[in-house]
Amino acid sequence: MKDGRVFPTGALPPLDGELSLDAGVRAAAADDFGHVVEKTPLGVLRPASARDVAVVTRWAAENGLKVAARGRGHSTFGRSQVDAGIVVDMAYFDEIHRVGDDRVTVGAGTTWRSVVAATLPDHLTPPVLPNYLDLSVGGTLSVGGIGVSTHQYGMQTDNVCELEVVTGDGEILICSPETNSELFNSVRAGLGQFGVIIRATLTLVPAPDRARTYVLSYADLEGLAADQQLLLRRGGVDHLRGSIVLDDDAWQHQLEIAVLLGADDHPDDDVVLAGLADDRSHAQIDDLSYAEYLEAFDRFTELLCSTGEWADPHPWWMTFLPGSVAVKVAHEVIADLVSEDLGGHGFVVFYPLDKGQITTPLVRMPNEEIVFVFNLVRFASTGPEHVERLLEQNWTLYRRVLTAGGVLYPVSAFPLTPEEWEKHFGSAWPMVREAKGRFDPSRCFTPGYEVF
């Protein structure tokens, strides 16, 4: 190879697809949405079958190489990258295999946008969706997949019926709660450590026709958190979020809620908003079709593309806080932030969840029933020193959150050592270690997390 590395000569069995050694293809697999880490693989598998992934995995393991699946490349810290090995481009598994009455079967590289496009004509929808629909099914199932309906339905990993997986010794296995359940419980939110998800059968629920959305303003974090928790306890809203933005050196606090509606439903705003202490003169209320509602985040990505921030480095930081200390910790963190810490259109995400619906064993959460999502969505536009400073800040803030009983959402941009991953998984660590030994004995999968 031109970069001096030696490609293994051990004969690679014939493939249905191809293993690309093209420099441009490999360079594309060395980048991701974070633009922070850059590792060039030896080759990129463009698979045409599950068998291709199995063959290449077995061959890689025999030759001491690593393998990482790349969904749609939205990791912020090189998690789908690999230097001494092969990246599997999952975008080639983008088929919608079957839409049933209560489930859909798709290739794991399919985007959630394509899933929704296939199910909405039948008035069906996945119960939990990410705000940004161009993530792959396999990519979010590998980390958990949180959405604004997680308080009702759990994570996306809690809404999976069955998976087809290639394991580290090149076996192609079907797993579900009933069949190969150890594999099923390991690969969901398993950070790609135990197998490559090839195909997923996902739960569907009836889709609403419309959504009425409410954006409410608060003077402070306490007011926002109090009303968020009131709504969480009271029910009556389907989706619940909150964000905090720095506007002209003043923090603005927003509660974002949605009520999902059938064609003939007419929500009573007075009932939905009863008892809330927002500044009602700033309330924004809109009616959208469900499809428009799901695509609302696209307006934001269009804005970021127009400002160039979509292409900037993204040292994002995502955590969960225990409900009892969430306001205190968030206050302390936010008080120390300056506008360059978030960048032009950066923002803080802050909203509560009742974690009762979350049952995926490897989704880690604080040890309280109510937890708060607490994320810094940030854009680093002023060069490498800026990125370096934000990565260090991510680490410092993570220590602060850990001390308060918080937990990392493992899509954040900073490195963890194997010892720190062991602490992250906590009581689930023995399961992680055993599953690694059983399903990836050569430790070839997904080195980008540095779990092992």
Ligand X SMILES: Cc1cc2nc3c(=O)[nH]c(=O)nc-3n(C[C@H](O)[C@H](O)[C@H](O)COP(=O)(O)OP(=O)(O)OC[C@H]3O[C@@H](n4cnc5c(N)ncnc54)[C@H](O)[C@@H]3O)c2cc1C
Q: Is 393 in the site for ligand X (CB under 6 A)?
A: no
- Contacting ligand X (CB under 6 A), which of 20, 40, 75, 243? 75
Q: Give the C-alpha separation, 49 to 58, whole Å.
A: 15
What mask of x and - would describe binding to ligand X in positions 357 to 376, judged by CB under 6 A?
A: --------------------
Which residues have a Cβ under 8 Å from the Cβ of 322 and sit 6 or more positions away?
A: 366, 367, 368, 371, 372, 404, 405, 406
- Report the site for ligand X in 78-107 (rule: CB under 6 A): 79-80, 90
Pairing mode of beta strands 85-89, 43-46: parallel
What mask of x and - would describe binding to ligand X in positions 112 to 151, judged by CB under 6 A?
A: ------------------xxx--xx-xxx-xxxxxx----
What mask of x and - would describe binding to ligand X in positions 303 to 342, judged by CB under 6 A?
A: ----------------------------------------
Q: Which helix (H) or strand (E) holds 425?
A: helix 418-425
CB of 202 to ligand X, least distance (A): 13
Q: Is 192 in the site for ligand X (CB under 6 A)?
A: yes
* Interface with ligand X: number of residues (CB under 6 A): 35
Instruction: Give φ, ψ of 227 to 5 degrees.
Output: -70, -35
Burial of 5 (0-12, 13-18, 19+ CB in 10 A): exposed
Q: Give the C-alpha separation, 137 to 130, whole Å.
A: 10
CB of 279 to ligand X, least distance (A): 27
Number of H helices, E strands in the chain: 15, 19
Q: Is 448 in the site for ligand X (CB under 6 A)?
A: yes
CB of 434 to ligand X, least distance (A): 19
Instruction: Give φ, ψ of 270 to 5 degrees.
Output: -65, -35
Whose CA is closest to 15, among 65, 49, 43? Answer: 49
What mask of x and - would describe binding to ligand X in positions 408 to 427, judged by CB under 6 A?
A: ---x----------------
Q: Which is nearer to ligand X, 90 or 404 (CB)?
A: 90
Is the Cα dihedral 22, 27, 33, 38 positive or negative? positive
- Contacting ligand X (CB under 6 A), which of 43, 47, 73, 343? 73
CB of 360 to ligand X, least distance (A): 12
Q: How many residues does the chain have?
A: 452
- Contacting ligand X (CB under 6 A), which of 26, 39, 58, 74? 74
User: Using CB under 6 A as the criterion, which residues of the chain lie in contact with ligand X when the complex forms?
Assistant: 32-33, 68-75, 79-80, 90, 108, 130-132, 135-136, 138-140, 142-147, 191-192, 196-197, 411, 446, 448
